[in-house]
Chains A and B, each alone.
Chain A
Amino acid sequence: MRHREEPRDTEPDLAHLQDRARFIRSETVRLAAIAGAGHYTSVFSIAEILSTLYYRQLHLDPQDPRDPDRDRVVLSKGHAAIGLYPVLADLGYFDPTLLDTYTRLGSPFGDHPDMKKVPGIDFSSGSLGHGLSIGVGMALGARLASRSYRTWVLLGDAELNEGQVWEAAMSAAHFGLGNLVALIDNNQLGIDGMTRDTMAVEPLRERFESFGWEVQRVDGHDVPALLAAYDALPGTSHTAPQAIIADTVKGRGVRAMEYSPDWHVGNLVGEDYDDVMAEIAAGLKPLEARS
């Protein structure tokens, strides 16, 4: 994150961005313990995406959350909000101690984000398949008002089963919205198992390209690769909408959760909690080979 007036010529601090990804994971574990349940693995797959977006890429001003020129972010996979709230608190959108109310009666922070209650949330989400349409509306709004902000929509791969996503994809290309970015968290898992077994979404690149989008595909846990993908985006007056397919691993960063459908929602207690916190603090290890 930087203020939109701030020049962009500094080198990214990769160690800091990786540290913030660890912070996103550990805060998710901490908040899930307050609720007694949480979407750990859906956040772990996007920790580097959130870190690179919010601590480097986006044009935002936490002191002015409604700045009409700010970049827009739609967390279409709203169940990952538990990992976004700590980022917004860390950036100064609200007092971080408020997070201690997470999911308690009357808290602004539910499992899915509410734009009317949480500063920094650009649109409420939770029902999968809606976010890209919201993004199309925001991108059209930018065009109508001659504003140069970019709209980013973060979707899960299994979410692409929803038909409305493709209605939105069609319309984004038809309306020439090069100021719209769909970031696909291709973590390969839905609730019932591997996306390819439940309802396959590949070939993703070809599907988006055939809908008129320009597509990049990157390792979604590789911080420099993500930054390079953002840098490669054309200017916002471009007419082809932009997709970044981020190949990720659901549960990345905690070995027992990687590729596991059993941790879509879970609750870590006792020694497990401490062990997971220690594993997260140690940083990403190479992935284990999978059968």
Chain B
Amino acid sequence: MSDQDTTTLPEGTTDTDAQDQSDIFNGTGQAGLRNARSSDGNDVRAIPAFVFGEELADLADVDPRVVVLTADLARANRAVDFAERHPDRFFNVGIAEKNMITVAAGLASCGYVPFAATFASFAALLGCEQIRTDCAYPQMPVRVVGHHSGISMGFYGTSHHSPEDLGIMRTIADLTVVCATDAQHLRALLRASLDHPAAMYLRLGRGRDRDVYDEVPELTIGKAITVRPGKDLTIIATGSEVEPSLRAAESLAAEGHDVSVLDMFTISPLDTEAVLSAAARTGAVLTVEEANVTNGLGTAVAECLFQSGLGQPVRFRKLGIPDAYVPVGPPAALYAHYGLDAAGITKTAKEMLR
């Protein structure tokens, strides 16, 4: 980043925030990932987007069905790590996302399990009809991977933001929608996806998400993971918001509040059992997502609660991105702007705990 760029940053943000985005296109960054730090100065070790190619290459070593496609973003999503080890099973279609997704469907019809990766804004919005008509409807085991999702592309602006993807993907029948929480979780998701019968939309962050899981978690697609138990309030979070939700729960614990955090990594089909049991146990539910609050995780949870006939009142709020275009800014500044960082989540949770 040039000095000139940093002079245009919003007040209160730092030079480091700008550098947070320097790695997006070449997948390594000028600063070098080993030295990467998030805007609040913490080491950033878990890089979900960047284990993507490496993990798939490992899986492909033993599973001949695995193939990978991308649309001129092999460095951004580290599909290059797959391409180096399995060049014959890697297809870069150039800047042609619709072709990529439909070609993947054709490969899937021949018995392959294709992972087709591009920025979430292009995968889910530009490729929406291809995902519906060519992957989900004919039940092809295509894994459309939307990385750098939500507002994680920060100052690249609305064309590169995907707050809408969860809401759109959630309404497609026979499409499993999952969000990666961190690097280890992404490995678990990729492994679990191999024999999953339906088409999938895998939502990844920007490769700067901090660790939630110390090791590859045991998971079942469609089942939430309780990452922290509690009895006063349940935070149901997904993807990039699980980690700040955990930090919020920790700071609330210091003030005497016992807050539970669920990693609701599967958006569709929703784990309604986990939602209802959390609501019954704590009587208060806060959903947190890096997505438009119209029809995302919060809406799914609200639908579940309202239709359940739960015999008790439940306090409910959803935290996410309002139904309006997102201003330009470094990601960390945007998360703070929307109250989607640990401090913001803590503030909203406290309002519910009063």
A residues at B contact (CB < 8 Å): 68, 74, 114-116, 122-124, 126-127, 130, 133-142, 144-145, 163-164, 167-168, 170-171, 174-175
Contact = CB atoms under 8 A, between A and B. Distances in A.
Given A167-B96, A171-B96, A130 B102 contact: yes
B106 A136 contact: yes
B325 to A, nearest CB: 26
B98 A133 contact: yes
Contacts of B111: 68, 141, 145
Interface in B91-137: 91, 93-94, 96, 98-99, 102-112, 114, 129-130, 133-134, 137
Contact of A137 (B98, B107, B133): B107
Nearest to A125: B133
Contacts of B67: 144
A195 B290 CA distance: 45
Given A68-B111, A130-B102, A138-B109, 10 more contacts: A116-B139, A123-B138, A133-B103, A134-B102, A134-B134, A136-B103, A140-B106, A140-B107, A141-B111, A170-B94
Contacts of B133: 124, 126-127, 130
A167 B106 contact: no
Contact of A124 (B94, B130, B138): B138
Interface string B129-168: 1100110011100000000000000000000000000000
Contacts of A138: 106-107, 109-110
B88 interface: yes
A188 B67 CA distance: 39
B223 interface: no
B247 interface: no
Nearest to A122: B109
B144 to A, nearest CB: 14
Contact of B103 (A74, A115, A137, A142): A137
B89 interface: yes
Contacts of A134: 102-103, 105-106, 109, 134
A164 B107 contact: no
A110 to B, nearest CB: 12
Tell me which of A68, A122, A133, A141 has the highest count of chain B C-beta atoms within 10 A of its own C-beta. A133
B157 to A, nearest CB: 24
A144 B112 CA distance: 10
Contacts of B103: 133-134, 136-137, 140, 168, 171
B65 to A, nearest CB: 10
A59 B351 CA distance: 68
Given A130-B102, A133-B102, A167 B93 contact: yes
| Most A CB within 10 A of own CB, among B89, B102, B112, B139 | B102
A9 B93 CA distance: 40
A168 B105 CA distance: 13
Given A137-B102, A164-B99, A130 B134 contact: yes
A174 B93 CA distance: 9
Contacts of A127: 129, 133
Contacts of B108: 137
Nearest to A124: B138
Contacts of A145: 110-111
Interface centre among B99, B109, B138, B139 (most CB of A within 10 A): B99
Nearest to A145: B110
Nearest to B112: A141
Contacts of A124: 133-134, 137-138
Contacts of B96: 164, 167, 170-171
11 contacts: A68-B111, A115-B109, A124-B137, A135-B106, A137-B102, A140-B107, A144-B67, A164-B98, A167-B93, A170-B94, A171-B94
B278 to A, nearest CB: 36
A175 B91 CA distance: 9
A217 B133 CA distance: 31
Given A170-B94, A171-B99, A137 B110 contact: yes
Contacts of A114: 138
A64 B99 CA distance: 30
A65 B129 CA distance: 27
A167 B96 CA distance: 6
Contact of B99 (A115, A126, A167): A167
Given A140-B91, A168-B99, A171-B93, A123 B137 contact: no
Contacts of A135: 106
Contacts of A144: 67, 88-89, 112
A136 B134 CA distance: 13
Contacts of A74: 106
